[in-house]
Amino acid sequence: MSRLQAIRELKNIGYTLTEIKQITDSCELGELDWVAGKKQISEKVQVTDQQISLLLRVKDQLMEAVANGPYDCKITIILQGIIAAE
């Protein structure tokens, strides 16, 4: 999955382009301050239960995208938190 595909997937599950840009921009600034757990993720990035469910369905593809570049490091942290909350 390319960066563009990962961005499209996040957009499809309800993230706005502004939110996606914030995730990628913050990652570039090294702000890896996500806390594991559904509650903290929901508060920080306003993820609904439905979005978490959808993220879990595409987590393998997102993890593949993460492996292909440093721009998605925040997505990795979000996914780790979601997986921890399972």
pLDDT (tens digit, 9 = 90+) per residue, 25-50? Answer: 555 433 323 322 343 444 555 556 67
Give Cα separations from 22 to 27, 84, 85 (angstroms).
8, 23, 23
Could you tell me the residue range of the domain that residue 54 belongs to?
A: 3-85
CA dihedral 50, 57, 27, 47 (to 10 degrees): 10
pLDDT digits (tens, 9 = 90+) for 50-74: 766 776 677 666 666 666 655 455 5
State pTM to two decimals: 0.30
Number of domains in the chain: 1
Copy the structure tokens of residue 5.
């595909």
